[in-house]
Structure 1
């Protein structure tokens, strides 16, 4: 028997007039059109700003919302305010204030709320609100707002946060893209977390947040943006434990398929000096003529910052290079002598060529095999003296480097060999960074060093026991430093429970930490993980192609991952090209062939602004900590990805060859399906025409 699919919205519908319009911030303002104004001309309120303050104390979260609506029309406007409550949240003490006065409202159970949403969808012919089917909802009337007036709305509610696998999750409904007529002038989310037990991991899969670890028991998290249309809820996870290293697991698996997991490893914030891994820091600075002026002065300040922040048991040395080299001392020096190196730094002058090979050889000759060796390599140019071929420089380094060496490279400006710098870093468990024109060298280097100044666990390995785990990223695993955390993504075969063992080295001694009975989901889980894993894998594959040569099988894999998980990159534009067929094996084969021809036709540049931007793009994918945001042509709805093709939002797993059943948008059958499968509301909210496989979408 042929499979049958469900296509929504293929039956023509008559546009209804007189329905409400919607403005959405954290809640939805449903504005009734003024008398005589048809729905298509009904005005919207303008959202001036949207500010959220959250205080979480021992899993009790209090959320306070402050937003201002502006009526910039010539009509008196009124309507109702609807706030979809976070799913599975235990809400208490919900209060609403309008212009400082307490406003009466009611919390509607999900069935009653669903009827309100369905009524709005019927009248507006817009399925966007179906995303909230299945949630309880707060509802309140909004009195008329006169032309030119503002209405300040404040909300406050408390909830008890649940714990899953040792992780505590907070969610705030911030999805506004499909409802706000204009971008919001300002969006601010501030979260303060306090706990009686030490806080270890803290992670947002939804937004790029700033994290301030005040102490072991207090963390501040913030997100700020302006002129934006937020398109996803704000999500935050954190863990509390007395363990020296916190390790927590999130996972997701569809029935019959391999699963995906995210492992969050975080050390304690406050460490005793005896727990810090003693390290050697070798600073390698380009002093060629092109560094003259502001660049050399900023670089000197960066070196001084590093010396000022050495730990008491650290050692250091400085290698300055141009046509030749200058070394501060013949051997590594104690951190106690760092002040004496200032005169050496002050006397450095920018003159001569760029002998990268000689500088690296000198730095490696100093390296001691007994402790972690961190080489910070800073250059603003291409190799012009001595060995100038990048492949030979890399080969020379490979013959000399030991396993305990970590190389961190900084390319200053755009005239640098990105292939060389990225290879040096990634082949030696470090990282490459680029200081673009008009950026501060001192700020970039000092900010980086602050994150790696205190090593706690080196040469990390993870053991998952009998559970089959593969395709983990980042690869290889980096060292752990105080104040940082490690986010690992990967795949697993079968769900179940297993012990996870974290191994590493502390001051030359092997250490082992066991985390018992962690549960890998057999079905369901956190739906963002597959897209985050796919983003990292695409970044890894793109880097492999750039650094180690093209491989057609790698390009085929990139195409398949990009289509399945909707990962947009500068290299996968076929995803949004209307003429490109991505829903059939033949279409994906053509996309891969085109990408292969582009990759092999002309060698990619290794220097210049385009090369630096390319290196940063690939690294951004490889080290991503959140999945991508929706765009005008690609939308994410829970575990599904939809691509816009000829006005139809199509699931990327949809098979266009199967027989279809047509259900009219807004029909009784349409809403009966939503009542029977409330989770499908997320998929239906994408658009009026949404093809998906019957019974499983």
Structure 2
């Protein structure tokens, strides 16, 4: 029986790695059964910390959507999740009653033995592991069948800096890992002086409301609904970049050592003239992205505002049955003109289907016949030229059209319903082979979205690539009487950078102020140099997170540079000691929360941001006593959706539909009018309302009753 259970869980987790990045399940450690867990509450604190953004995920787990349990059943919650590359996990909390237990960091083997021993004795622990690169597992015990457990995960995610903003893509897949039992996700931001104007890019209409708490002080709060969460592939948090004349510098004076964080924007201090001329080509296939046409257009408008000026020029060309060119001439990129142009653009300019070859042909023709040396930015998500023979012919035809050198920069935002093509001993996704070779031949750049690389980050870097390239550079820091050491660059120092790309660095220092910065480089074989000095009172004051950032990068580098199987015991012990000293999770350590009687300590100094949210409790009647369950799920041929509605719900007044990730209705179920009780079933065989087979992927069964919704995530794999 244990072998069957293990096989099922391996299948579930393997499937989940293909289609999402988190899975919450509940199981009986003494038995064989398991089921998907429910996330009842979700509150996220977000605090920019320089190179990184610190997240606090407050989550409440339950087994309320698992059928067949009795009040006597005691379960274990297992939460598998991924984080973006180079993330750093720094804390784990477990609520026991009203008390907060902060995790102790121990070596992995000791923590595992303690946890398993306590589970066998039916006591209160949680344990958090780093399973492999970017993948983590949290176990919580016990989870009574009719109760819930609350946890907090604290981690750091690399921030994306641009000339005007600091951005971070919220790891929303962590919220989609189980059944969604919450109405809203609440976002708390406590930074106000240094990191200004917090926003959610995908929700420009949502403002962060400023509030005050006697214990925690000033903070900002906003929220988005569970349905808004399900309809988004990414939700990005941004604040204004806190540059002062192109520099951001903070210091943290620790007990044993001093650290600094530095962001430097070369374009602010180097006088090199560069006029941009870009024809922006937009191709859109509605079936292959969760982004809307409005979101695509808004991103282009924002980047034109942020990265172009009155000396630059642009044009926009839209894919349609007949290619839609915004203008026959270059458009001046001053703010008023950009605003006027976009006031006259609508989503109707862009079709819902791809016409990629004609679009590229039109763009090349525009550059050929226009003055100046223009470049092309292609934003596309189709895959009609995925085969190498088709791609090579199109590349040749496009190259033959060019009367002059035209650099083509490509951003591929395809997300779903794509095929893989195996070409020259390598796999390519969608049009990747075509994009990669076309951009390389023309001297352009190619970027594509994935889990660790959001659409907004991608288009920002594509627009940055229109700037001047610094082929070689060095950023050196020092002290007046002393030195800097242990420098870690977020940008790889041995690669060229663009003038408008911030250079991000964390390091250590010893000595007296002023703090000195020297930036040297080559542009077109011409050397340049910039020097700066800062007294102590001119430098921002950081906190202990700076030390965690340095320690986390140090540990990540050790783990990535060494194969797990070839590390010596001395090397492993070095990682363990450094991990425990700095409270940064590694492969070889774990966070263990224990009840006080077993050695756990109540965290009396905890700053519990979840207390700031007062209206998180679900009270609407669609939630009370209402349960959804699908089996099997994931499924291949068909799944049986079991429904138990609350006593106050009239099934005949509710609608039951299945949506895809784009928010489009796939299947509608008509309730039987002869309900004898509020428990019934729907059988779904993977066909839509037209009896056509649909593609593999994630879908959502949604009940709507008096404007309130209840959802169940379904996964179809073929």
TM-based fold match above 0.5: no
TM-score w.r.t. structure 2 length?
0.36
TM-score, length-normalised on structure 1? 0.37
